[in-house]
C-alpha cells in the first residue's frame, strides 16, 4: 500500500459547521423574542404581539407614543375633582387662625398675585357690603320693593366676600377644594354683576362688574401651570 492510499484521519466536526451539500438548519426562535442573529426565520413566521418592530415608536403595538406633558400623560394638565374636601367645620377654618393672613412664603409668583387679589377683594367686599346695607336702608324710604331686592343682593355679596377670605386662606395651604370654590365664587360674582347692573339701572348700586373682572383674573392665575405644579407638590407631601 502506498503512502497516497493511507486513509487520512477524519477531522472532528466543529460545532455549527455544516457538511458539504447538507441543508442549513434553522433554529426556531424562542417565543416572544426576536430571532437570533444568523438564523433565517421560516416562511410565514409572524413575530409575537409583544414584539416591537424596529423603528416603531415606543408604546403599545400600533399606538403612537405620547410625549410627557400631553393631556392624559403625567406632567400634563388634567382636571379632576378635589379629594381633600373638608370633613368638618375645623377643616374649613385656616390653620393657626388669621395670624398668618399676610404671609405668602413658599407660594409661586402666580399664586402670590392671585392670593393678594382674592384677599384684598374680599376685605373690600366686606366693607362695601356694610356701606351697601346703609345705603339700602335709605332707599327703603323711596322704593321699598327695589330696596328689598338690592338688600338681598348686598347680603349675598357680603356673605361671598367673607367666604372668599376664608377660602383664599385655605387655598394658600394647598387645598384644591378651596381653589375650586374660589372659581365658583368668580362665577357667582358674574351673575351678581349682571343682576345688579339691571336692578340698579346703571347707577352703581349692586353693580359689581369691576369685582368680577378682578376675580376672573385671580381665577386664571390659580390654574396656570406653575400654580398647578405647586398644588401637586403639596398634595405629594400630604
Q: Is 122 exposed, middle or buried (0-12, 13-18, 19+ CB in 10 A)?
A: buried
Angle, alpha carbons 153-136-164 (nearest 5°) = 40
Residue 228, pLDDT score: 93
Give CA separation, 140 vs 99, 155, 177, in Å: 39, 15, 39
Res. 94: pLDDT tops 90:
no
Scanning the structure block, which residue is given the C-alpha cell 412664603?
105
Alpha carbon 125 to chain centroid distance?
A: 30
Residue 90: HSE in the Cβ half-sphere, 13 Å Cα cutoff: 1
Give CA separation, 175 vs 60, 82, 96, 113, 220, in Å: 36, 8, 15, 17, 17
Q: Which of 17-26, 43-52, 90-99 has the highest mean pLDDT?
A: 90-99
The answer to whether 68 touches 74, Cβ cutoff 8 Å, is yes
Report how far residue 60's alpha carbon sits from residue 49's, in angstroms, rounded to the nearest whole number: 9
Asked which of 23-32, 61-70, 101-110 is least confident by mean pLDDT, the reply is 61-70
Report how far residue 165's alpha carbon sits from residue 98's, in angstroms, rounded to the nearest whole number: 10
Q: Which one is predicted more confidently, 75 or 120?
A: 120
The answer to whether 133 touches 153, Cβ cutoff 8 Å, is no
Q: What is the mean pLDDT of the chain?
A: 74
Read off the DSSP letter of residue 3: G
Residue 8, pLDDT score: 56
Res. 55: pLDDT tops 60:
no
DSSP 3-state of 179:
helix
Residue 74, pLDDT score: 43
DSSP 3-state of 151:
helix
Report how far residue 7's alpha carbon sits from residue 205's, in angstroms, rounded to the nearest whole number: 122
Length of the chain: 238
What are the sequence ranges of the domains in the chain? Answer: 107-237
Contacts of 4 (CB under 8 A, 6+ apart): none
Backbone region of residue 38 per phi and psi (left: phi > 0; alpha: psi in -120 to 50; beta: other values): left
pLDDT in tens, 164-215: 999 999 999 999 999 999 999 888 888 877 876 676 554 444 456 777 888 8
pLDDT average, residue stretch 45-69: 49
Amino acid at each position: 500500500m502506498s503512502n497516497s492510499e493511507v486513509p487520512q484521519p477524519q477531522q472532528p466536526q466543529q460545532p455549527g459547521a455544516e457538511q458539504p451539500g447538507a441543508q442549513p438548519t434553522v433554529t426556531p426562535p424562542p417565543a416572544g423574542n426576536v430571532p437570533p442573529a444568523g438564523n433565517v426565520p421560516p416562511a410565514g413566521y409572524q413575530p409575537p404581539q409583544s414584539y416591537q418592530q424596529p423603528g416603531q415608536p415606543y408604546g403599545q403595538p400600533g399606538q403612537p407614543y405620547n410625549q410627557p406633558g400631553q393631556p392624559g400623560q403625567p406632567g400634563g394638565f388634567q382636571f379632576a375633582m378635589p379629594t381633600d374636601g373638608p370633613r368638618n367645620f375645623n377643616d374649613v377654618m385656616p390653620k393657626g387662625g388669621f395670624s398668618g393672613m399676610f404671609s405668602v412664603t413658599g407660594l409661586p409668583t402666580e399664586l402670590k398675585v392671585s392670593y393678594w387679589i382674592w384677599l384684598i377683594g374680599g376685605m373690600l367686599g366686606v366693607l362695601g357690603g356694610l356701606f351697601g346695607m346703609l345705603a339700602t336702608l335709605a332707599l327703603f324710604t323711596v322704593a321699598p320693593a327695589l330696596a328689598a331686592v338690592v338688600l338681598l343682593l348686598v347680603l349675598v355679596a357680603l356673605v361671598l366676600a367673607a367666604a372668599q377670605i376664608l377660602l383664599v386662606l385655605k387655598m394658600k395651604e394647598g387645598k384644591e377644594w378651596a381653589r375650586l370654590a374660589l372659581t365658583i365664587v368668580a362665577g357667582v360674582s358674574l351673575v351678581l354683576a349682571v343682576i345688579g347692573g339691571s336692578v340698579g339701572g346703571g347707577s352703581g348700586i349692586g353693580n359689581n362688574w369691576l369685582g368680577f373682572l378682578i376675580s376672573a383674573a385671580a381665577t386664571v392665575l390659580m390654574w396656570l401651570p406653575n400654580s398647578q405644579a405647586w398644588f401637586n407638590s403639596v398634595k405629594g407631601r400630604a
